[in-house]
Structure 1
Amino acid sequence: MSGAVVSELVLADPESLQDLGRYAARARALDADGAVRLQAVGSVLASWVCVLPGAGLMGTGTTLGLRTSALDVPAELDVLVPLAAVSDRVARPGERAVLPVPPMTGSAAWAAVSPPRSGWQVVGSVGSEALQRVASDGIAEVADGTPEGAGSAAVAALRERVWGRIIGTADGDVGGGASDLEKGGPAYPAALAFAGYALGFLTAGAESTIATNGRWTRLTTSAGHALTRR
């Protein structure tokens, strides 16, 4: 990653800074030692987090969260920093909506797996209630299928199977998929429902858009995006 040396990011308002803090807190709940990729281009800050790590050379199953924020002061930056460092800095608000850029940087395989910026094709929409049902059923399935003392490889295989399942097809759903199909809903990996739920992107009564681009599928809500690679 590269970018100009930037010591701070000035967001549009204090609410945007606090929203970023809540987003980081939710991502930390998934991985206490996780990181966030801060990618500033002009007046837009894109904050990327990893929800599910991928497997293999192609990063199959990699599932990312993306939240964008408006910057009051344009900047050019692309760094990977600990989520904990962002949370600490947001927890000490000042008079300005400023996020001091953590000095420590790191590396992660998921940060090198960048989804395309253009060329997405919208394939349909799905309601937040259906997404939440898929996420809740999947979480329960992972919990019930993970006995005490299970090895990390077995747990990873179970998660890959559950969250890689395609919803909206007659032969594979974890709750809500069949009804979505009956209503003409789009097919999408369960990982997107989990990411949307875990990161707080789902709003009761709202519709989320599903789009595809090559091996990628994207869920878009008013709060952010979840993207997964198949």
Structure 2
Amino acid sequence: MTPEALNLADAETMSDLRTYLSRARTVQDGQARLQVLGAALAVYVPVLAQEAIGTAVPTVLGLRVARLASPVADGFAAVYELGALADRLARAADGDTVLPLPPAEARAAWAGITPPLSGWEPLGEYDDDALRAEAETGMRAVTEALPPQAGRPVLDTVRGRIWSAPVQAGADGVELPLGAAFAAASLGFLRPGARSRVFGQGRWQRLTSTGGHTLVRHPAQLA
């Protein structure tokens, strides 16, 4: 049975989730996938999705894990519009810890691509400041490449080309797409002077930073 609300651990967790979803909407105002694992709430958001741009680019997702006040029986997973979740968080009073869930679920093709929960192998590390600089370079490249009043197809093509390119500030021979740096920076995962660790599992890579995780699923032909 789908719950009507989720009880978060404390008001700080509620505020953190509000900030995370607000940032996600500035990147792509689409959907969010919520999944409960015991007393943890995993919140996935799309940054680069293959169904929108094409199968030749990686899928890039952001993941932030929030604490629940207590475990949810039998687990829970659902997809909702980001706007609907953000509106409910915006209406919450200071100190509230209850997240009311929207009455209707949404659909998103990317939400059916489930990242692995185990089996990750360490691959290397990246400097957070270098990742942020790479993201800023990529954002400038997207802006400069777009013609005036570009439509969505042109925007998607430009974004797919630039964010699929490899990060130049490599570490330990690990190659991440530039979209992973963009996701980590835009979603607030990076910290000055910190380092992010990279893990791999099959076609997947995971960039684990102080503020959250960035998940990358590479196209089959590149696996």
Return the TM-score normalized by structure 2: 0.89
Query: What is the CA–CA distance in structure 2 between the aligned matches of 1:24 and 1:115, rounded to whole Å?
Result: 20
Q: How many residues align?
A: 214
Query: What is the CA–CA distance in structure 1 between the aligned matches of 2:67 and 2:143, rounded to whole Å?
Result: 38
**Alpha-carbon shift at residue 149 of structure 1 (Å):** 3.8
Distance 1:226 1:212, change over 3 A: same
Query: What is the CA–CA distance in structure 1 between the aligned matches of 2:54 and 2:134, rounded to whole Å?
Result: 28
1:62 to 59, 62, 79: 59
**Does structure 1 conserve the Cα–Cα contact (< 8 Å) formed by 2:43 and 2:64?**
yes
2:175 to 169, 187, 190: 187
**Does structure 2 conserve the Cα–Cα contact (< 8 Å) formed by 1:59 and 1:113?**
no
Distance 1:77 1:187, change over 3 A: same
Partner of 1:129: 129
Query: What is the CA–CA distance in structure 1 between the aligned matches of 2:138 and 2:96, rounded to whole Å?
Result: 41
| Match runs of 1:144-183 below 5 Å | 144-167=144-167, 173=168, 177=169, 180=170
SS, match of residue 143 in structure 1: helix
**Over aligned residues, Cα RMSD in angstroms?**
1.9
**Does structure 2 conserve the Cα–Cα contact (< 8 Å) formed by 1:141 and 1:162?**
yes
Distance 1:88 1:150, change over 3 A: closer
Query: What is the CA–CA distance in structure 2 between the aligned matches of 1:122 and 1:39, rounded to whole Å?
Result: 24
Query: What amino acid does structure 2 have at the position aligned with 1:43?
Result: A
Query: What is the CA–CA distance in structure 2 between the aligned matches of 1:166 and 1:121, rounded to whole Å?
Result: 20
Partner of 1:36: 32
Query: What is the CA–CA distance in structure 1 between the aligned matches of 2:180 and 2:109, rounded to whole Å?
Result: 19
**Alpha-carbon shift at residue 60 of structure 1 (Å):** 4.2
Partner of 1:86: 85
Note the alpha carbon deviations across 1:138-179, whole angstroms, 9 max, x for none: 000011001114343333222112111122xxxxx3xxx2xx
Distance 1:101 1:210, change over 3 A: same
**Does structure 2 conserve the Cα–Cα contact (< 8 Å) formed by 1:164 and 1:189?**
yes
1:205 to 183, 188, 193: 193
**Alpha-carbon shift at residue 185 of structure 1 (Å):** 5.6
Return the TM-score normalized by structure 1: 0.86
Distance 1:12 1:59, change over 3 A: farther
Partner of 1:170: none
SS, match of residue 148 in structure 2: coil
Question: Unmatched 5+ residue regions in structure 2?
Answer: 219-223
SS, match of residue 71 in structure 2: strand
2:211 to 223, 226, 229: 223
Question: Unmatched 5+ residue regions in structure 1?
Answer: 168-172
Query: What is the CA–CA distance in structure 1 between the aligned matches of 2:68 and 2:149, rounded to whole Å?
Result: 46
Query: What is the CA–CA distance in structure 1 between the aligned matches of 2:15 and 2:152, rounded to whole Å?
Result: 34
SS, match of residue 122 in structure 2: strand
**Does structure 1 conserve the Cα–Cα contact (< 8 Å) formed by 2:14 and 2:96?**
no
1:73 to 65, 70, 74: 70
**Aligned: 1:103 with 2:100:** no
